[in-house]
Structure 1
């Protein structure tokens, strides 16, 4: 089972940001990504919001780094770790624009891109950018189809749909990967179905452990039904990656209050707890560490990579 991390600093929702992040900056982001790269993490991830309305700013904050710029910045400073948009609200932008940005990123980083996509939830963002919020699911469905074409091997991609129509327009460079993995985020019935039939993987949004098995079973059922019915799973090729987001972690015995939901203990104990995700069918787990400083976070990342990761 592989493991990745949502980077600190680049998004600062009160749901997960640590107090030290408020005064942090690019150098802290860079140091964390390098630590994850050294520790053998499968990916580092960056979120996506264009603008936060005042009504949501107290909870979400307005600190949301652009994922393409952020991941490109980190690509030049890392060697092995993959770069995940978790998740890009791709329906906010024309797919040719999105394809140009992420194809360039994949070329620059040597084929390390993982494109995580989601429908979005902030209505004011959609309104400001002239995108239909009420039908954002349908917008995302077609956008994924268009991105499959625009991120494919063809210099002149072609797509003909209800919302987007293009052909005869060349885009170079092409991605370094022959096929950019698209992981679909979200835990609603519609998102789960979209992941099953259009994605190469699923990124759950807040599913607790006891709900994951039924979600995984549903995705498998949908994919099997499509195959049995003779209808090809659209654009689906190769293995499907099931994800999970683990509870907050702290390796060792904390001397400060890390929250009642945080998993603490020695490496063996934490590895045993996380292996339960693999038993459910999870292929990659996203971990988050409680920390009071950049140094403490980097120490936790290093300890996880050295002492917990090998047992997964």
Structure 2
């Protein structure tokens, strides 16, 4: 099975868990050049994150640099032509589904049908509180938000949804998405997130599952779909270890996979053997130029071997 590969872009989110030092001084021009490199190298998608506001208690670890996903993806849609545009992940429970639908339908329309809507429950209590959303109900809110968004991003100009948290009908929205069906991928690795992905989504985006945990998670995902009688295929994703194509001459970290294209491809093919369809990669780098070199090397030398 051939593995698709995508990338969450640097710069647009700068958590200390993964941001490189050079990103602190980077900006729009860097994002544009990296997005263009990602497309040239044949990546399936580029992805951006979503946080509205970060409280002081978390700012030291998470930083407060989180670009808006719709604005960022729209900007990058205008400077690319083919690469898919993924929100990884949009905390859609923070916004009314008609508001999210207006934004993402417009993005899909303007980009020629390149949106993949990745959604997640969120984890920052203060974001929910300041926006008047019940943090304790965020799972239930997301479950219903997915249903409401399916309706609002569907073919009907006047969508309808009647639920516990959201109720609407008789309100028209155009432009409609360019895609007949916008793919919805659910992010998260908790039991609730895996169940949500199995029962409601077109794809699953695990969050940090190590390799040894993935097979059991994938088996549960498939079992839940089978029990629910869902026959449509589901796209299973994975976030790989940090990567460096070639032999680094600097400390890239103990967890980073590095080496020849053949060695990297052999390691990454193990994801496909587990039943993964797409991998999200992140490269270690000390500058925009080095990152683009890594993206180009992966696209030219590693990706063709991921079969």
Matched, 1:269 2:263: yes
Q: Distance in 2 between matches of 1:170 and 1:297?
A: 44
How far has the Cα of 1:306 moved from its partner? Answer: 0.2
Question: Which residue of 103, 109, 112 corresponds with 1:110?
Answer: 112
TM-score, with length taken from structure 1? 0.97
Question: Which residue of 183, 187, 190 corresponds with 1:188?
Answer: 190
How far has the Cα of 1:238 moved from its partner? Answer: 3.3
Matched, 1:259 2:261: no
Question: Which residue of 139, 142, 154 corresponds with 2:141?
Answer: 139
How far has the Cα of 1:15 moved from its partner? Answer: 0.3
1:37-116 equivalent positions in 2, closer than 5 A:
37-116=39-118
Helix, strand or coil at the partner of 1:70? helix
1:181-260 equivalent positions in 2, closer than 5 A:
181-227=183-229, 233=230, 238-260=232-254
Helix, strand or coil at the partner of 2:109? helix
Q: Deviations over 1:83-111 (max 9, x none)?
A: 00000000000000000000000000000
Q: Distance in 2 between matches of 1:10 and 1:106?
A: 20
Runs of 4+ in 1 over 3 A off after TM superposition: none
Measured on the aligned residues, the alpha-carbon RMSD in Å equals: 0.6
Q: Which blocks of at least 5 consecutive residues in structure 1 are unaligned?
A: 228-232
Q: Size of the alignment, in residue pairs?
A: 304
Helix, strand or coil at the partner of 1:31? helix
How far has the Cα of 1:79 moved from its partner? Answer: 1.1
Q: Distance in 1 between matches of 2:61 and 2:297?
A: 31
Q: Which blocks of at least 5 consecutive residues in structure 2 are unaligned?
A: none
Question: Which residue of 152, 155, 168 corresponds with 2:154?
Answer: 152
TM-score, with length taken from structure 2? 0.98
Helix, strand or coil at the partner of 2:14? coil
How far has the Cα of 1:239 moved from its partner? Answer: 1.8
- Give the aligned partner of residue 230 of structure 1: none
